[in-house]
Chain A
Amino acid sequence: MKSIMKLIKRFVITLIFSLAALLILNIILLFTVVQPDTESSGGWKAAARVAECLSQQPDGGYELTEEGKIMLEQRGCWAVLIQDGTGDVIWHSENLPEEIQLHYSAAEISWYTRGYVADYPTTTAAKGEDLVMIGNSKESYWKDMYPAFSLNMVKNLPRTILLFLGANLAGVFLIYMVVTSGILRSVKPIVQGIQALPEGEDVYVKEKGLLSELASALNLVSEKLRYQEYELKKKDQARANWISGVSHDIRTPLSMVMGYAADIEEDAEAVEEIRQKAGIIRIQSIRMKNLVNDLNLASKLEYNMQPVKMERVNLTALLRETAVYFMNLDMDGKYPVELSSDIGGISGNSVQGDKELLKRAVSNLLLNAQIHNPAGCHIRAGLSEHSGKLCVTIEDDGIGVTEEQLRKLKETPHYMLNSGTDSNQRHGLGLLIVQQIITAHGGRVEFGHGMEKGFRVDMFLNKPEESIKIVEKEA
């Protein structure tokens, strides 16, 4: 709609300018084309001139000077001098046509001087009491026989002119509106269509009327966009499926590697060295298992193929469950997990989230601590509150990270997100998953230094809207 208003505004301005230009043009035309022809006062001046050039002779007759004669000749007209009282012509020019009478009654004078004498347009001038009348050439003038105009009309002329002007303008505008509304009707759907395109809506404009070509082009563009989007989604899905398929195929062979390695590790009759090596194989195959799991999940999250089931999740219970699972697998007790919570009461530690995904995030962090600290370390799992958000912290007192590594973690994207071709970007897939999961919950992740220079990860989650207060019960 805005663009259409702009169109109308522009038209009105153009109209005003063109009217002004036309006005000026007309004035110029008036002066150059018409002016030379308007010599309406010429005949009257000539009559006056003749009157001046006539001089009375001693014998009572009149004589016209040479100047007068030349002028009459130039103008191609004749002249008479009518005596006052008698109405007789007491002098006439030499070229007087025969049909011109030599006597005029008062009535005739009135009539002829208003208009014509024998089809010659007349102009007059006074000579004393007498009248000089010139008969101009028949081609020179057209005279209005009734040259009187209503006084009212003349007085109101400015207003009348304005009225005419206004009416004309309105008429022009009306015609314009009628004509352009037809165009607008064709343009509007196209304008709307174009505006809708970036919104990702389906666009279809009827392909008829003035702008049918434009409409069909627009429809083509919309279809193309839709198709491209569909193809993109298909490609993403295909990629996620492929990754899922590959990770699936790896699992069975990995089971056998893991299984036999564990078997050898626990074989009391095997050589100690062999048992140790088998132990390493087992640990590495666990690492591969987690990599495969993480890769699968990361691709699903990345291509939005992982459904996120939101439900009420008790974070304390979740942390306990995950920590216990982790510790039950830690046969040697090298990675004791301590749970601490700053949140009092039972109501404050719930969030809306996908339980399995959140468990995965915490597990990954615990595993990370294990992988990076082969000699063992203390792990603290904490729950606290920070400026209205719930914070889950996993930190260890192990090797930790240098400032450089920390910076790299924060800035360098993982290879899945990396659109560059530098293969040196491989980085913390496990941490990437954590970020993806927490982001999918509308939260954020921060890395830093843990207790005694270890590593620390803080996950900030939003508190749910309502909080249900659960009161301690007695059994």
Chain B
Amino acid sequence: MNYDYLKNKRILFVDDEEGLRQMVCSILKKEGYRQVESAGTMAQALELCASWKPEFAILDVMLPDGDGFTLFEQIKSFLDIPALFLTARGEEDDRIRGFGLGADDYVVKPFLPKELLFRIQAILRRTYKEEAPLLELAFSRVDFERAEVIRGGEHLALTAKEYAILQALGRNLGRIVTIDSLCEAAWGDNPYGYENTLMAHIRRIREKIEENPSKPVSLITVKGLGYKLIAKSR
């Protein structure tokens, strides 16, 4: 899958530490993000938002002239963009949830660049998914917009449950997703008790996306823990 289109998105990074700003900008640029700007204060950030109109904001929670949450509220009043919070403590959980963001949308300092990049990509993909082309697997492609699998010219429709499961796996490409997360994605609240049913659905998905469902290369089982979706390697 080609996520290059995301690398063009304008990203704003706000943190009061000069050194950290330099580092994050260099990480992003190295990863291929072509348009990255940074600000050290709330005032600077708001100015940049008005003039440059970023499409994604990474905000440190503690700023010299305010806090990241207030800043985000102000940005939201004229720019409808997603944000990722950089916190020094994990308890910001509740406040972040209060902003209508999921628990995923924050990174605790100190962080590994990989972590940050993964989160950024996940949020960007989620927000700008209409522009997303097909998910390329080893032997098939998945069209999330049409909810179908394209294999050798054939268009195979995905059921609602299969779609939900594939989507959850697709959001975490290359990473293990727990059985419980998949159950929750497919069956919502109180997902416990669906493990066997999940296995059945996985089997059916494999029949659609794999060349040999009994020897899967795209949808891998990690015994006792969950499943992993692997994209086509380039």
Contacts and interface: CB of A to CB of B under 8 A. Distances in A.
The answer to whether A and B belong to the same complex is yes
Interface of A: 244, 248, 251-260, 262-263, 282, 285-286, 288-289, 293, 296, 314, 316-317, 320-321, 323-324, 327-329, 337-340, 346, 356, 470-475
B88 A251 contact: yes
A472 B193 contact: yes
A314 B110 contact: no
Contacts of B192: 314, 317, 346, 470
Given A321-B178, A321-B180, A356-B90, 8 more contacts: A244-B89, A253-B19, A259-B111, A296-B89, A324-B175, A324-B177, A328-B175, A472-B194
A204 B170 CA distance: 68
B176 A258 contact: no
B113 interface: yes
B20 A255 contact: yes
A262 B196 contact: no
Contacts, number: 111
Q: How large is the interface on B (under 10, 10 to 19, 20 to 34, 35 or more residues)?
A: 35 or more
Contacts of B112: 258-259, 262, 282, 286, 329
Given A338-B224, A470-B192, A473-B193, A324 B20 contact: no
A474 B187 CA distance: 11
14 contacts: A244-B89, A252-B17, A252-B20, A255-B20, A255-B111, A258-B111, A259-B27, A262-B112, A320-B225, A328-B176, A339-B223, A470-B192, A473-B197, A475-B197
B155 interface: no
B30 interface: yes
Contacts of B224: 320, 338-340
A252 B180 contact: no
A314 B183 CA distance: 14
Interface in B181-206: 181, 186-187, 190, 192-194, 196-197, 200-201
Nearest to B200: A475
B193 A256 contact: no
B126 to A, nearest CB: 18
Nearest to B60: A252
A263 B113 contact: yes
B193 A320 contact: no
Interface string B88-111: 111001000000000000000111
